[in-house]
Structure 1
Amino acid sequence: MPDILSKYTEIVNQRLKELLDLKNVHPMIKDAMNYSIMAGGKRLRPTLNIMANALLSGNMRETLDIACAIEMIHTYSLIHDDLPAMDNDDLRRGKPTSHVMFGEAFAILCGDGLLNFSYEVMMKNALRHASNMNSHMKAMLEVATGAGVYGMITGQCGDIENEGQILTEVELKQVHEHKTGAMIKASLLSGLLLCDPRQEYIDALTVYGNNIGLTFQIVDDVLDIVGDAKKMGKTLGKDKTSKKFTFPTLYGVEKSMKIAEEKTEEAVNAMKVFGTRGQELTDLAQFILKREK
């Protein structure tokens, strides 16, 4: 785990353990939710939330539960994405996927549980910070929009619908902006919005989020071709097997990475409005570009 992420990983993991110490729920759901959420992962999205909140000297304890809720939503999406009806993956983060461990029915319910519980967590957190309720409502709306039919779900639909199809770059970007970029942008803005930001800060972070979101997906697609399966912790070559149209399909690996570099530069330039406060997010953009898993 690189230092840029490990700085916050332990804090996020500890809070996730506390939140998922569930009482009076079906034991199978409790076990399944904890199995998937604690299986590892970079905790990129909660880190983005916390870093964005820090740009305007926010209170990390106030945004932490939103960050954890975002990780729950991300994990639910992976559980459902791995199901036989979708990507049909047996391995995630180096471990058997949820439906392999608990069966398809409990995997679906586990995903549903994480999604619904994430909103419980955010609403309880908002009530604890009632003096800043309007900002919490904006932050929660941002998360809901990024995760919902205007964001990730539309992206997933496009991803499935376009299997075996040939897309233009514009069409491919639209899929990626919804499937991956929407929740990355929501992670950032939900942290920033707690601080009642000026519009120029919202605009800058939106540009940053859109660009690192696209970079993340391009690198992910490249690693599916040239990555190390042990480092990745999942089955590689799935895009080709599933006939998914990706940036490497369109441009090849080398040109795809060149595009990712250009998007990273745009993201870094957007952070200049924050001065030295934006250094962590600048460093994180470079990590996303150069990651190996």
Structure 2
Amino acid sequence: MTDYIKQTEQALYDYLPDLNCREKELIESMKYSLEAGGKRVRPNLVFSFNELCNGKTDAAVPFACAVEMIHTYSLIHDDLPCMDNDDMRRGKPSNHKVYGEDTALLAGDALQSLAFEIMTSDKAISQSSAAACCKAVNTLAAYCGARGMVGGQVIDIINENKSAPLEVLREMDYKKTACLIKAACELGCISANADDKLIKSASEYGECIGIAFQIQDDILDVTSTDEELGKPVGSDNENAKSTYVSLLGIEKCRELVAELTDKAKTALNAFDGDTTALCDFADYLASRKK
């Protein structure tokens, strides 16, 4: 998937507005967070499902970049003092520590709107179809809005300094984390004009690895170090937040990660193509150390 990462990063920069403008600092702020790196999990999934459904790689590019822009905007906003108040992200100062809270907030807003702009551009439509672009926009908007990622953030805020039960935690993590990962899997299929059955199977895969991803995050928050993770660890405990680890313990959490990973790989049986890479990817996410 290294080629997918390179293709994503080049395209992300190409989609950014030109720096020769009065709002140059805003564009630099957007670029700062986009180039901060990360695992590029969501773009990888768009490309992988596009390939699995025999789609054209070029058709997946705007969708892959759009979902990464949405993810990046959410991280910028997450780190703000009014949210998680984190000074570090991926081993670098958070956006607002470099550009200020006002510009960081607006950079997140601009990345969100740019995501939908590139998905509906003439180029995107020519690479897939108007119908595919429309469906992709509807899918991503639903998964990142009030019923998805943003809704999950609100549930998180409401339950700060509270001992939330497991069902609330599961709903929060489904919306906050898994929804955007599901969106990426579905967008890959949509870019290849796959049928609804395959989209549903991709969605199940995404949901399972998304929840597993969050549980693994909770595990790392108590077992990793600031240097390994690239951000402060132990913040969940300091903020008295309920996590899978605090409710279930580390060993049970590790069992759940393994179960969800197996379920994700089983969902791939609906596809005729070679699913080895996606199975390996699920295993990688389940065993990651950062």
TM-score (norm 2): 0.95
Letter of the 1:183 counterpart: L
Within the alignment, does 1:184 sit opposite 2:181 as a pair? yes
Matched residue SS, 1:129 = helix
> Structure 2 CA distance, aligned partners of 1:198 and 1:127?
20
**Which residue is 2:138 aligned to?**
141
Which secondary structure does the structure 1 equivalent of 2:271 belong to?
helix
1:166 to 163, 168, 174: 163
2:11 equivalent among 5, 9, 15 = 15
- Counterpart check, 1:80 vs 2:77: yes
Alpha-carbon offset, residue 116 of structure 1? 1.0
Q: From 274, 279, 283, give the equivalent of 2:276.
A: 279
Q: Quick one: which amino acid aligns to residue 226 of structure 2?
A: A
Question: Are 2:238 and 1:237 equivalent residues in the alignment?
Answer: no
Alignment of 1:198-217 (within 5 A): 198-217=195-214
2:37 aligns with 40
Q: CA deviation at 1:167?
A: 2.6
Cα deviations across residues 130-154 of structure 1 (Å, max 9, x unaligned)? 8721122111111111111110000
Other-structure match for 1:29:
26
Secondary structure in 2 matching 1:277:
coil
Give RMSD over aligned pairs. 1.5
In 2, Cα distance between equivalents of 1:112 and 1:157: 17
CA contact (8 A) 1:62 1:125 kept: no
Q: Does 1:118 align with 2:77?
A: no
Shift of 1:83: 0.3
What's the CA shift string for 1:146-170, capped at 9, x where partnerless? 1111100000000111112223322
Q: Is the 8 A contact 2:52 2:273 kept in 1?
A: no
Q: What are the residue-to-residue correspondences of 1:252-267 with 2, within 5 Å?
A: 252-267=249-264
Matched-pair identity in %? 37
| 1:126 and 1:133 in contact (8 A); partners too | no
Does residue 1:220 correspond to 2:209, yes or no? no
Q: Which residue of 2 aligns with 1:56?
A: 53
**Which range moved further: 142-151 or 276-285?**
276-285
Query: Aligned to 1:52, what secondary structure does the other structure show?
Result: helix
| Residue identity opposite 1:216 in structure 2 | F
Is the Cα–Cα contact under 8 Å of residues 135 and 193 in structure 1 kept in the other structure? yes
- Give the Cα–Cα distance (whole angstroms) in 2 for the partners of residues 212 and 129 of structure 1: 32
| Residue of structure 1 in register with 2:102 after alignment | 105
Give distance in 2, aligned partners of 1:268 and 1:100: 40
Equivalent residues of 2:177, 2:210 under 8 A apart: yes
Q: SS state of the match for residue 107, structure 2?
A: helix
**SS of alignment partner, residue 87 of structure 1:** coil
1:126–1:136 CA contact under 8 A, matched in 2? no
Q: Name the CA shift for 1:38/1:26 in 2 (closer, same or farther; >3 Å).
A: same
Of stretches 20-29 and 157-166 in structure 1, the one that deviates more from structure 2 is 20-29
Q: Partners in 1 of 2:104 and 2:72 — Cα distance?
A: 11
| Whole-angstrom distance in 2 between the partners of 1:228 and 1:275 | 41
- Quote the Cα distance in structure 2 between the aligned partners of 1:133 and 1:51: 22
Supply the AA of the counterpart residue of 1:10.
Answer: K
2:234 is aligned with what amino acid? Answer: G
Distance in structure 1 (CA, Å) of the matches to 2:44 and 2:124: 23
Question: 2:121, 2:10 → 1: CA distance?
Answer: 18
Aligned length: 289
- State the 1:278 CA deviation: 1.8
Classify 1:131/1:62 alpha carbon distance in 2 versus 1 (closer, same or farther; 3 Å). Answer: closer
Cα distance between partner residues in 2 of 1:177 and 1:119: 23
